[in-house]
Amino acid sequence: MDLSILLVNWNTRELLRNCLHSLRATADRLSEVTLIFGNHTAEVIVVDNASRDDSASMVRTEFPWALLIENARNLGFAPANNQAYEQATGEYVLLLNSDTVVQPEAIRRLMDFMASQADCGGAGARLLNADGSLQPSCQPMLTPWREFWRLIFLDRVWRQATYDLDRWPIDIARPVETIKGACLMVRRAALDPAASLLDEQYFMYTEEVDLCYRLADANWKLYWVPQATVTHFGEGSSRQAYTQMYVQLYRSKVQFYRKFGGESRARRFKRLLRLAYWPRLMAARLGRVFKPALVDRVRTLQELLIELPRM
């Protein structure tokens, strides 16, 4: 098998259905349980994390060509992807979010690019929002200062934490430091055979940053391939528990800094987060008097700052 496409689902039945439909529609043909994209063969593995919306039965009924793994509880994003990876047989592995729609030629173009670049350990597509506007799909590698720079809005003046994708040509692939996990293709040969695909200390978020860091550390290059286009609706699962997931995002970032820099780097990041978020919380508390919608924002920021010392 050339490619294994891994999909993890939690209560996103309709989004998952659309994603699987797009894979089938953009494939040249289906051969039993194998999708054919140009000269490339691909298998699709779906892991359902104990969804309550009949996602699993939908996959069994409507997409029998996809291998379905059903979990009795929500294991999280990284463990579920590792489950799929253990079953995967492809030379390449594609991490694909369930809330995506693959556009024509996207899979083939990613595969063709990686096959043509011997130094390419990972590649990502150009991501679009539902309205067709450009979505951030890659970024510089995370550092505590870059995160702080972004949170205090200085990145709008001098970009340090993001790329200016609007100015990048859409017909030229270019090297980048990290690729968003909504659509990330990885060369199996670039992965440590003794390690899992994703580090399971991350329940959700930052797993792909960790993966990109490990690939770069092993001297593999990462590329943004804008000729391949994928629509990403975003937060299909996380919006179901927004505050908890927002806190989880920063818990995962703290774990990343602790893993690649030790406790001192994690503490530095938490100090910078506190410095950036206390003014935001104060402003939201004042603003909710005039804009009641800010009540939820206040609750989220309070929860983050309460949990921060325990991260």
Taking all residues of the chain, what is their mean pLDDT, rounded to a whole number?
95
Q: Specify whether the CB–CB gap between 8 and 49 falls below 8 A.
A: yes
Instruction: Report all structural domains of the chain as residue ranges with CATH numbers, in order of start.
Output: 3-237 (3.90.550.10), 239-310 (no CATH)
Tokens at 33, concatenated: 């349980």
Of 55, 43, 42, nearest to 9 by C-alpha is: 55
138-139 vs 178-179, strand pairing mode: antiparallel
Distance between CA atoms of residues 224 and 122, nearest Å = 9
Q: Specify whether the CB–CB gap between 94 and 181 falls below 8 A.
A: no
Residue 10 has pLDDT above 60, yes or no: yes
The confidence score (pLDDT) of residue 203 equals 83
3-class secondary-structure state, position 293: coil
Residue type, 151: L
Q: Specify whether the CB–CB gap between 78 and 200 falls below 8 A.
A: yes
Residue 219 burial (10 A CB sphere; 0-12, 13-18, 19+): exposed
Each residue's pLDDT tens digit, 210-268 = 999 999 999 999 999 999 999 999 765 555 578 898 999 999 999 999 999 999 999 99
3-class secondary-structure state, position 38: coil
- Reported pTM: 0.93
Tokens at 303, concatenated: 């929860």
Alpha helices in 37-185 (DSSP H): 55-62, 77-87, 106-116, 144-151
Each residue's pLDDT tens digit, 104-146 = 999 999 999 999 999 999 999 999 999 999 999 999 999 999 9
